[in-house]
């Protein structure tokens, strides 16, 4: 059996490993335009500081480790054309052009940076970050830049801002509404804003109307006013890369992503798809949504890899958001739905907030009309992952929050124990 995977991100790499685990004899190849080994997406901004760093490599997905599993990586290779009738791809790379045949194809073609359609975005000095190569390329040009504008306030935008601040750059963050609007509740966004350093200039409630410059970037126009800058980074999300899917006559959904089933199978029985290029089915409503999150892509890749080699196992966690990062000394954890994403799915919610002043921690718990926990967020100086795990465990089990509340903070549990054992503590 010949398995060909197009794409070397979390979805593609995990699909290859899963396929090998369930089939020791299959011929597995990964085709990728990338020339750098697979890396952690959160943290990729480190390449701005050390463009040639290898600190972000994912060892299990390195070329040498994949080779040990008899998985061949065709790096620096592009797919020129696909033919679903002949189960073949036309590829070109360092070894020239050739035809690659497959029995099963897994598309992990990712997303394309979704840059606003405004004048000036084509100027030199305007950047987007899709992969490590982009970040490294920008990092090599930073020495001659002082003021840098980041448009977008998701995980990637905030992480990039942190790295630029550490490099001593005059950094501006442009926020159309509020920080991490889709992932965080409004009070959580406000809390996060308070924890950002004053050296980061945050401009909220504004949108760029054009990039200014004559031959190169010299600023960004915001509501009729010019903010001067040496570079502009658009970190405004991605849209599905479905060019190859369309060539293969794979069905595309209303949101622009590839339509898949629970096994990640497309409308063509020989083709599977995972990651930023697909429309996943929401775990609550079964409605389609775009979920360009690396951890989601990795879990979906595992499912596609198993199914492509004939496995029947269905994993139930392929469409749940699970994001964690530590930015500006703060743990940020997002699990499942926020009230915003739930509302987009037609689900009415209630939100309960927990404040732990002793630990300087804030938690948001999102429940549906039945009181079932469907998501949560944590902002904490430390131990955010522990609280995130408690939330994840309850979301995955479909727990009613009233029946299974989060554990009290450790200092409260200790106080209760001491008071029960020794009497009231004054």
Average pLDDT over residues 35-43: 63
Q: pLDDT for 64-114, tens place per residue?
A: 899 999 999 999 999 999 999 999 999 999 889 999 999 999 999 999 999
329-412 is classed CATH 2.40.50.140: no
Please answer whether residues 288 and 257 qualify as being in contact, where contact means their C-beta atoms are separated by less than 8 angstroms.
yes
User: What pLDDT shows up at residue 42?
Assistant: 47
Q: pLDDT for 238-277, tens place per residue?
A: 999 999 999 999 999 999 999 999 999 999 999 999 999 9
Q: How many CB atoms lie within 10 A of CB 370?
A: 9
The C-alpha atoms of residue 60 and residue 159 are separated, in whole angstroms, by: 24
Spell out the SS3 assignment of 215-235.
CCEEEEEECCEEEECCEEEEC
Q: How many CB atoms lie within 10 A of CB 124?
A: 11
User: What pLDDT shows up at residue 257?
Assistant: 98
Q: How many CB atoms lie within 10 A of CB 94?
A: 9
pLDDT band of residue 35 (cuts 50, 70, 90) is: confident
pLDDT band of residue 415 (cuts 50, 70, 90) is: low
Q: Which residues of 240-260 are buried (b: 16+ CB within 10 A; e: fewer)?
A: bbbebbebbebebbeeebbbb
Task: Please determine whether the domains at 115-234 and 329-412 fall in the same fold group of CATH.
Answer: no
pLDDT band of residue 291 (cuts 50, 70, 90) is: very high
User: What pLDDT shows up at residue 37?
Assistant: 76
As a whole number of Å, the CA-based R_g of the chain is: 23
DSSP assignment letter at 382: S
- CA-based diameter of the chain, in Å? 80
CATH number, domain 115-234? 3.50.50.60
Question: Quick check: pTM over 0.85?
Answer: yes
CATH for the 2-112+239-308 domain, from 3.30.565.10, 3.30.70.890, 3.40.50.300, 3.50.50.60? 3.50.50.60
What is the residue whose two structure tokens read 């011929």? 27
Bridge partners of 79, per DSSP, are 91
For the chain, domain boundaries: 2-112+239-308, 115-234, 329-412
Burial (CB count <10 Å: 0-12, 13-18, 19+), residue 210: middle
């Amino acid at each position: 059996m010949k398995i060909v995977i197009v794409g070397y991100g979390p979805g593609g790499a995990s699909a290859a490993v899963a396929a090998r685990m369930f089939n020791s004899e299959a011929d597995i190849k990964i085709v990728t335009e990338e020339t750098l080994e697979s890396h952690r997406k959160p943290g990729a901004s480190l390449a701005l500081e050390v463009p040639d760093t290898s600190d972000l490599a994912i060892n299990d997905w390195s070329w040498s480790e994949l080779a040990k599993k008899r998985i061949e990586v065709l790096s620096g290779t592009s797919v020129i054309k696909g033919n679903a009738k002949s189960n073949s791809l036309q590829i070109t790379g360092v070894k020239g052009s050739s035809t690659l045949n497959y029995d099963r194809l897994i598309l992990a073609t990712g997303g394309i940076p979704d840059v606003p359609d405004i004048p000036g975005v084509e100027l030199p000095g305007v950047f987007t970050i899709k992969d490590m190569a982009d970040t490294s390329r920008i990092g090599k040009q930073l020495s001659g830049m002082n003021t840098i504008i980041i448009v977008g306030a998701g995980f990637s935008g905030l992480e990039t801002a942190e790295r630029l601040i550490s490099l001593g750059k005059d950094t501006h963050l442009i926020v159309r509404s509020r920080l991490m609007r889709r992932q965080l509740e409004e009070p959580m966004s406000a809390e996060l804003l308070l924890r950002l350093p004053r050296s980061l200039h945050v401009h909220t409630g504004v949108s760029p109307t054009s990039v200014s410059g004559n031959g190169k970037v010299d600023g960004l126009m915001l509501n009729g006013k010019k903010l001067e800058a040496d570079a502009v980074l658009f970190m405004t999300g991605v849209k599905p890369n479905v060019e190859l899917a369309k060539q293969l006559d794979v069905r595309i959904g209303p949101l622009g992503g590839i339509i898949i089933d629970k096994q990640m199978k497309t409308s063509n029985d020989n083709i599977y798809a995972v990651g930023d290029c697909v429309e996943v089915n929401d775990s609550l409503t079964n409605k389609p949504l775009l979920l360009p999150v690396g951890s989601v892509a990795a879990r979906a890749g595992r499912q596609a890899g198993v199914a492509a080699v004939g496995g029947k196992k269905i994993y139930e966690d392929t469409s749940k958001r699970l994001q964690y990062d530590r930015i500006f000394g703060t743990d940020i954890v997002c699990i499942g739905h926020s009230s915003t994403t739930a509302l987009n799915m037609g689900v009415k919610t209630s939100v309960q907030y927990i404040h732990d002043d002793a630990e300087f921690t804030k938690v948001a718990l999102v429940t549906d009309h039945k009181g079932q926990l469907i998501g949560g967020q944590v902002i904490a100086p430390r131990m955010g992952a522990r609280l995130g795990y408690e939330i994840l465990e309850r979301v995955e089990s479909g727990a009613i929050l009233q029946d299974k509340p989060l554990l009290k903070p450790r200092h409260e549990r200790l106080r209760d124990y001491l008071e029960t054992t020794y009497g009231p503590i004054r």
